[in-house]
Amino acid sequence: MKTYFTKLSSILFLGLTLLTASIFTSCSNDDNVPYVIPTFSGTVESVTFDEVTIDPQLNIANAVYRWKDNTSGTILSNEQVLKYTYNTPGTRNLILIVEQGNSHSYYTYKVDVAKSYNYNYITLDLSTFNLANGLNKQGGQIWGKTYTDKVLLQHQIFTFSHTSEYPNTWDGFTVSNVKDNKNYNQEGSAGFIENQWGSMAKGGTQGEGTPFIIGYWGYYMKDWQATQAVFNEKQYSNWIKIGEAKDSYKAVNVDISNHPWPYYGNLTGDSFARKFVKGDYFKLMIYGVDKDNKINQKPVTHYLADYRGDELIMSKDWHKIDLSSLGEVSYLVFQMETTDAGDFGPNTSVYFCMDNLTVDKIDK
């Protein structure tokens, strides 16, 4: 039996994207002859999360096909061409059973599945965050403990800073599913204080009304007086702790979106902030912290509003930010900077929205 291997992507290694597919094709000039002894038809190489396609090229009239995992006994498919995705690495021994009347043919394949580049990725998934007992705001809900002090926001392996030292105030992070992105500046500062729970994208990355993170940079008496070289949770308002001390992670990426309050303030001005003019900017800086609590002094910077050129650039959409330059991290620290600032700090409202934080767990 002659075998050959075809690939829709030229890459066979861990750098495969999720959209590539492996195709194994076998053919013979005697494919209609029933086999009593299983015929080994070849080895397929793939990676986790990559769809494997095995096409035996058997054009047998009225045949019934069964693809079976020979180790577990699981039937993977009843189609002539197998299409299957493996989520864990390892070697699989498959058998294709072809039935035609009382005759049976058997074809065996070995599938070697390696780890894909994103096998150890852990992504913040807020679709599982429970907002059923949340506070009702702007037609949606926010985290129920947004105004509760000394409670950190926790989800999956991520712990988010949060404080509420005075009644009806908070800083750090909270969760919201509010889709309202209207401009409340005409009502003065009170308008946005009551309506500070939206994103310009009208929800998380999964669509309108889906959950996302709101960050409020509570810089005053914290970040401005912090020790810049060494991290301390109590000295910074906005940080995310990643996993437990025994584990190690690399930063991968995060989605960032504009918050309505600074967006409209930069666009038209508000009770505190002036309208942006040429030369102005409003940026978010993300720092990595290693296991020794040393802060990486080369942050990843994302401009939420940028008027350094000939026009003001501000987006209403989500943008994926590459964090890989931060390397191995135990914390991420978020700080903000605006050209509209005075002696007592920023006039721009220091909010941002976040979703899909992704880290890569390092194998030991």
* CATH number where 318 lies: 2.60.120.1350
**Per-residue pLDDT, 226:** 63
| Structural domain for 126, as ranges | 121-361
Q: Judge if 92 and 204 occupy the same domain.
A: no
User: Which strand (E) or helix (H) includes residue 191?
Assistant: helix 189-194
pLDDT of 119 reads 97
Mark whether 84 and 58 lie in a shared domain.
yes
For residues 79-97, average pLDDT: 96
Mean pLDDT of the 199-216 span: 98
CA gap 165, 331 in Å, rounded: 23
User: Residue 218 — very low, low, confident or very high, per pLDDT cuts 50/70/90?
Assistant: confident
Query: Is the pLDDT at 134 greater than 90, yes or no?
Result: yes
From 114, 130, 157, the end of a domain falls on 114
| Domain harbouring 65, CATH code | 2.60.40.10
Exposure of 329 by Cβ count < 10 A (0-12 exposed, 13-18 middle, 19+ buried)? buried
* Shared domain check, 154 and 88: no
- The band of 37, judged by pLDDT with boundaries at 50, 70 and 90, is low
- Give yes or no: residues 181 and 242 share one domain: yes
Q: What is the largest CA-CA distance in the chain?
A: 89
Distance CA 288, CA 300 (A): 9
Asked if the model's pLDDT at residue 256 lies above 60, the reply is: yes
pLDDT of residue 91: 96
| DSSP states along 79-109 | SSSEEEE-SS-EEEEEEEEEEETTEEEEEEE
Together in a domain, 74 and 159: no
Task: Count the domains in the chain.
Answer: 2
Boundary residue ending a domain (95, 114, 133): 114
Tokens 């220091």 locate to 350
Are 190 and 253 in a shared domain?
Answer: yes
Is the same domain home to 249 and 343?
Answer: yes
Look at residue 229 and give its three-state secondary structure: coil
Same domain, 50 and 146: no
Q: How much is the pLDDT for 149? A: 94
pLDDT for 164 beyond 50: yes
Evaluate if residue 2 carries a pLDDT over 60.
no
Using the predicted structure, report yes or no on whether residue 185 has a pLDDT greater than 90.
Answer: no
Q: Quick one: the chain helix, strand, coil %, rounded to 5?
A: 10, 45, 50
Quote the mean pLDDT of the chain. Answer: 88
> Domain check: are 54 and 97 in the same one?
yes
Domain match, 164 and 307 both: yes
Identify whether residues 87 and 148 lie together within a single domain.
no
CA-atom Rg of the chain in angstroms? 27
Specify the pLDDT at position 11: 31
Last residue of a domain, one of 114, 149, 171: 114
**Two structure tokens written together for 119:** 């096998």
User: Could you give the CA distance from residue 316 to residue 331 in angstroms, rounded to a whole number?
Assistant: 28
Q: What is the pLDDT of residue 208?
A: 97
Residues 288 and 190 in one domain: yes
Residue 29 has pLDDT above 60, yes or no: no
Q: Percent of the chain beyond pLDDT 70?
A: 87
